[in-house]
Structure 1
Amino acid sequence: MAESIRDQIRTPAEDPLDSKLSRDLLRQFRSGTLVRLRRASYIAQSTWLSMDEIPRHLARMHAIDAAANSRPVFAAESAALLWGLPVQSIPERVQINVPPGSGQRSRGPAVRRQFPQLDDGEWFVDGLKVTSAVQTAVELALRQRYAWSIASLDNYLHGPTSSAAWKPSAQGLREAACRLPSRAKTRRVLALTELADAGSMSVGESISRANMHLAGLPKPTLQACFHDDDGLIGYTDFCWREFGVVGEFDGKVKYRKPEYLQGRDPAEVVIEEKIREDRLRALGLKVVRWTWATANSPNQLRSRLVAAGLPR
């Protein structure tokens, strides 16, 4: 079993009887063999350099939690990383929720924010205390740009992708939104919830759909099923049957990640996609494909899809 991030963190507390350990760790930090996560918490430089930004953020969270006298409640983007909800960017500092009037201040690698608890209970993911999945999704809807807010709510409604479980519910989102202290924030989350769709299968699809809405394009059907004489062709990301158009977001993960490749090499996946596309065109459909650059641009999406047959 791979060693957990928390087990790789070095602190003087790992051997309280060793009076020299604190000085030894500080010496290793100054020599460059350790990286400081927070005061008196370190991780091996080789480990740190092998991490991307998400494990690095999680390492800071574990270091903060290990040193706290009372369990911090991780929130916003920090909580989203634990729940598996998509975020537009990883914050430089760990996000922690504190009770109103607690007097706790932001310092070191953490930002302490006052935000009301939107539902009851306590939640833990990977041994860390977090805001609930529904509260985290609501906070992301308030903190992120429009398209990424939609992506986070789509992902919440689609359901958990890790061992951390929640029961997705549009009603739960609405109830949480109505507990917000600001009417403007409530209106924003309620409006976004009306646009969110559990049928979105990826962040790229969600970003695309949000920007289609901004571009004034007709609402697509998600995951439309198509057959021909040979049987099932597959499910398209977007479909406008009345206009004979289907759309496909072409992210790179399907050509890289094992869960998408399913034992095939990338070349096989490309060939299978081409055969699938030819079968769709044989039904009289126009197939439009796009990548991240187009997904992020309402104008480019509009141009591509109008050219394929959607109304201006």
Structure 2
Amino acid sequence: MESGTSRRSRWAAKLITLAAVVPALVVTVQTAPAPAAPAPAAAQAADAPKRVDSKNRAVYFVHGYQRKEGKGINCQMWNKTKDHFKKKGWTGSLITWGYYKADSNCTYEYPGTQETDLKYVSRSLAWNIYNRYTSKGKTVDVVAHSLGGLVIRNAIARVKRGHDGFPPKLYVEDVVTLGTPHGGSDFADFCGTKQCKQMRGHAGHLKWLNGLPTGNFQATGGTNWTLVGSYNDNSVTAFQATSFYGKHKVRYLANENVEHSDYYKTGVGNGWNCYRSSDYGKNFKKYTAACAGPINSAYIGAYFQSAR
């Protein structure tokens, strides 16, 4: 049996030990690492560059609708147009962008099908432009054939409206559309894919797009639109191709025989017959043997900001 003195000595030793441990615990709590600071927000794109006539901007070439379901488009369709840009001294990147997984020879491709909603197609294009150019303070031009014109319209409008999943801004200085069904397409009434339905002028998607304020189609810094159509287009009428609010509009006369797949294959010079407007279509003037051909109109619309 322990004596009282022995027990007091043991308790005193325990108190001394406990006193030594407590400060250490307090110090540990006080010096614990602070919670990590929130990650900084993604850097915003630099201000849009000044609008100038320039041949060193990147140009995105966006193809149209592929009527054969499950098939893609060969982006070499743009070769004659790209060659013309180069011969005119264009030094900026000439980019072909496709949106079918079966596409070939495109610089960049989104793996979609004819059943892919244009919202998702345009979102992919918007991010490609943003990540490669807008985020670096660079603007681009776009030349689009047929449905491709609705893709870039969607991209700019949805970015401008702040739709979920889209980049914060885009710098797109000039857009040229070739045979784009801005007012719908009679052909689209006879096919049943998702994208066909979205080209129907009386249907929900295009009706929604055409009901937006015109300011929704101006990318940050402004966008100049040139719309090109033909009275001999077998898929999109001259009126449908130029019904959008773009400032510059060209309609080739029927005797020029510009069909739907001709815009990007012919017309590198001048001397063509057309109706032309530079006041948003309020007035069209007929020019006999005095218009730029389709390919040359694409170049002029991208460089001079007007089809002459």
TM-score, structure 1 as length reference? 0.26
TM-score, structure 2 as length reference? 0.26
Larger Rg: 2
Q: Using CA pairs under 8 Å that are at least 6 residues apart, name the structure with larger relative contact order, 1 or 2.
A: 2
